[in-house]
């Protein structure tokens, strides 16, 4: 048992659920030396890493003085397919920027920003739409997602899905789509999504074991596209927001909605700058009964970006003891583990260590 534990767990905590060193922004040309593009994209990278508002980042003196070009690993442009653009013949690009992680950390610490852990939780997207623009729909339109005067699940709306997925990637959100089979239809009606009811939250928890939901209702008229969204965490109250743009500005309105979602998520998960502290912490984990439980602990620790590395001191009789290099203080680390419910803190810990029990499902 001791050998198995050592082989499985003795590794550096490098696994990340999202790549926080890169992002993409929407641009009109391919001038890679444009300082405005670089600064805007880097501000978005800092926002992904910290959960700070982009305006706050752009106004920070440390950020303004940062020599971003010296830390760029690579940048490139990607032309957007014209079918996703509002104006025929228009040309737009994604500007992708990748920056060195140590430079990002340096700016965060010097600027006094908060820290948003990289291991992001999935958000289930429930999406419906209603289109009043096609008063005399063609046969193809009737077969499609949008139907005149009708409320429909909108996962077949290519334009909406494109922008939703692109903005989620750009803003560091992990969006998951339901299977949309008979089980989902029976438990989460299109009308319940439109009305932002709690049916979706309960069903998502029961079927998918996900406790974060984004409910989106899109209303298209001749003059405008309107969105009502509801974001909920852990089946708590739904945060309802409204957005409106001219009919052809689907990309713009969905950016506003996804940015708001990312900020709501960050409010609940970012760690205040006063709690950032690089230090070595002795951690002891007990109550491990079998291989599967050890593997679950390994997976959990490897996905905690606030642990830069760890090494095993001893492992025997269902207990492992390690030294972990933490980027946050012990108080913040305990708050995180309590929320995640994989480990439970034992308050009888010695003063120089944190003692946890593995929570058997």
Q: What is the pLDDT of residues 202-213, one digit of tens each?
A: 999 999 999 999
All structural domains of the chain: 2-15+273-358 (no CATH), 22-99 (no CATH), 122-269 (3.40.50)
State yes or no: pLDDT of 3 exceeds 90.
Answer: no
312 with 10: CB under 8 angstroms?
yes
Sorted by sequence, the CB contacts under 8 Å of residue 177 that are 6+ apart come out as: 124, 125, 155
Residue 214 CA to residue 320 CA, distance in Å, equals 38
Q: Residue 106: which of 70, 147, 56 has the closest Cα? A: 70
Model confidence pLDDT, tens digit, residues 96-112: 999 999 999 999 999 99
Residue 44 CA to residue 49 CA, distance in Å, equals 9
Within the chain, residue ranges assigned H as helices are 2-9, 35-50, 54-58, 61-65, 101-111, 139-143, 158-171, 182-187, 190-194, 199-203, 250-269, 291-302, 330-340
Model confidence pLDDT, tens digit, residues 52-104: 999 999 999 999 999 999 999 999 999 999 999 988 778 999 999 999 999 99
Residue 260 CA to residue 238 CA, distance in Å, equals 13
Percent of the chain scoring above 90 in pLDDT: 74
State yes or no: pLDDT of 138 exceeds 70.
Answer: no
Model confidence pLDDT, tens digit, residues 153-184: 999 999 999 999 999 999 999 999 999 999 99
Q: What is the model's pLDDT at position 248?
A: 87
Question: pLDDT-derived band of residue 149, with 50, 70 and 90 as boundaries?
Answer: low
Q: What is the model's pLDDT at position 255?
A: 97
Question: pLDDT-derived band of residue 147, with 50, 70 and 90 as boundaries?
Answer: very low
Q: What is the model's pLDDT at position 117?
A: 93
Burial class (CB in 10 A: 0-12, 13-18, 19+), 141: middle
Question: pLDDT-derived band of residue 17, with 50, 70 and 90 as boundaries?
Answer: low
Model confidence pLDDT, tens digit, residues 289-339: 988 898 899 889 988 989 988 998 988 888 999 999 999 999 999 999 998
State yes or no: pLDDT of 250 exceeds 70.
Answer: yes
Which whole-number Å values give the CA distances from 1 to 31, 53, 151, 304, 319, in the listed order?
58, 48, 57, 25, 10
Q: What is the model's pLDDT at position 79?
A: 97
Q: What is the model's pLDDT at position 173?
A: 96
Percent of the chain scoring above 70 in pLDDT: 91
Residue 35 CA to residue 29 CA, distance in Å, equals 13
Residue 241 CA to residue 254 CA, distance in Å, equals 12
- Give the bridge partners for 134, in sequence order: none
DSSP state of 271: B
Residue 333 CA to residue 275 CA, distance in Å, equals 9
317 with 1: CB under 8 angstroms?
yes
What average pLDDT does range 122-143 have in this prediction?
74
Scan for tokens 């737009």, then name that residue: 92
Scan for tokens 């593009």, then name that residue: 37
State yes or no: pLDDT of 16 exceeds 70.
Answer: no
Q: What is the model's pLDDT at position 144?
A: 47
State yes or no: pLDDT of 139 exceeds 60.
Answer: no
Q: What is the model's pLDDT at position 148?
A: 42
Helix (H) or strand (E) holding 230: strand 224-233
Q: What is the model's pLDDT at position 1?
A: 39
Per-residue tokens: 39 = 């600064």
């Amino acid at each position: 048992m001791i050998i198995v534990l050592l082989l499985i767990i003795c590794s550096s905590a490098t696994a990340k659920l999202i790549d926080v060193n890169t992002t993409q922004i929407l641009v009109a040309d391919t001038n890679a030396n444009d300082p405005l593009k670089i600064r805007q994209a880097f501000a978005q990278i800092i926002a992904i890493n910290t959960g700070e508002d982009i305006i706050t980042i752009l106004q920070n003196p440390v950020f303004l003085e940062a020599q971003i070009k010296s830390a760029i690993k690579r940048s490139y442009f990607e032309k957007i397919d014209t079918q996703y653009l509002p104006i025929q013949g228009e040309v737009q690009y994604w500007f992708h920027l990748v920056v060195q992680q140590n430079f990002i950390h340096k700016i965060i610490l010097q600027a006094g920003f908060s820290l948003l852990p990289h291991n992001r939780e999935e958000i289930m997207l429930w999406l419906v739409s209603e289109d009043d623009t096609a008063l005399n729909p063609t046969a193809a339109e009737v077969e499609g997602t949008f139907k005149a005067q009708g409320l429909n699940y909108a996962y077949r709306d290519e334009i909406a899905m494109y922008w939703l997925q692109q903005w989620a990637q750009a803003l560091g959100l992990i969006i998951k789509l339901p299977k949309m089979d008979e089980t989902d239809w029976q438990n989460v009606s299109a009308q319940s999504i439109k009305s932002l009811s709690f049916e979706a939250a309960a069903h998502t928890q029961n079927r998918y074991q996900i406790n974060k939901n984004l409910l989106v209702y899109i209303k298209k008229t001749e003059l405008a596209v309107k969105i009502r969204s509801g974001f909920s965490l852990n089946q708590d109250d739904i945060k309802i927001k409204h957005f409106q743009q001219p009919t052809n500005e689907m990309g713009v309105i969905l950016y506003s909605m996804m940015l708001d979602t990312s900020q709501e998520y960050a409010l609940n998960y970012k760690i205040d700058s006063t709690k950032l502290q690089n230090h070595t912490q002795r951690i002891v984990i007990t109550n491990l009964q079998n291989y599967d439980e050890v593997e679950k602990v390994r997976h959990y620790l490897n996905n905690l970006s606030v642990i830069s590395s760890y090494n095993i001191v001893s492992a025997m009789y269902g207990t492992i003891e390690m030294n972990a290099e933490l980027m946050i203080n012990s108080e913040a680390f305990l708050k995180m583990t309590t929320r995640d419910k994989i480990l439970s803190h034992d308050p009888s810990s010695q003063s120089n260590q944190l003692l946890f029990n593995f929570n058997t499902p």
